[in-house]
Chain A
């Protein structure tokens, strides 16, 4: 019996303290956290001026809700009477990194413009429509 108990006690030491009592042992720490992404904010309505068939559209920088400017802007043109979206023409197409653009060869009519902040695939809320510009 005594020999058996001694054997068991030795087994406890070996299993319970691998490497002996003086050795260190490994554990794991754990915890949690989070990463929060920004949100694009809404910009003010752009301003416009007309010269012949050229319309100059100007807008102010649009920021994220928690700081920093949007990387670019998308300009849209609407029919002032029907609100129908029109095809924007050069040089206001695509994502612009400037704060102004001049749309050339604008058809005769009455138009309104909007600006939408854009960063890569992200799009912010579209601004309110500008005052009507007549070409």
Chain B
């Protein structure tokens, strides 16, 4: 009996540990009120680039969780627009400015996007998909005042 209990407890512990660490491992914290997506969602679009041009790319960062989140950095990966218009024709600056976002709130972050002066004719009208990623801290929970 004791052996069975031990094995069951170990299995339960493994499941619990996986469940608890799963959010950090996959990089996604599921918000309780929105089970369909990540807790922090980033969106940003810009139009009107041409060779040598620089534009402001406003990224809206939305916190869907019930916790205040602290965004430490935002990085952007540019994908190819086409086989003849590669991602290297665009450069997007990353943001290292810390950002604190309340539960359910949004903040705007301005990045800079530039197109190389040597971009080929194939880049006319091209659409470069962007993939945003951010490193986020969940601030420490406040200690209860009478918790000594």
Contact surface of A with B, Cβ cutoff 8 Å: 1, 4-5, 8-9, 11-12, 15-17, 21-40, 64-68, 119-124
Contact = CB atoms under 8 A, between A and B. Distances in A.
Nearest to B58: A33
Contacts of A66: 47-48
A29 B81 CA distance: 24
A121 B5 CA distance: 73
Contacts of B28: 27-28, 30
A104 B71 CA distance: 63
Interface of B: 2, 5-6, 9-10, 13, 16-17, 19-21, 23-24, 27-29, 38-52, 57, 59, 61, 69-71, 78, 81, 90, 92, 113, 115, 117-121, 123-141, 143
Contact of A119 (B13, B40, B51): B51
B13 A121 contact: no
Nearest to A8: B13
Contacts of A32: 43, 129-132
B90 A35 contact: yes
Among A4, A9, A29, A34, the one with the most B-chain Cβ atoms within 10 Å of its Cβ is: A29
Contacts of A5: 5-6, 9
B131 A15 contact: no
A23 B141 CA distance: 7
B143 A22 contact: yes
A6 B9 CA distance: 10
Nearest to B27: A28
A68 to B, nearest CB: 7
Contacts of A4: 6, 9
Contacts of A40: 124
8 contacts: A24-B138, A28-B136, A32-B129, A32-B130, A37-B123, A38-B124, A65-B125, A120-B118
A4 to B, nearest CB: 5
A27 to B, nearest CB: 4
Given A36-B49, A122-B124, A29 B71 contact: yes
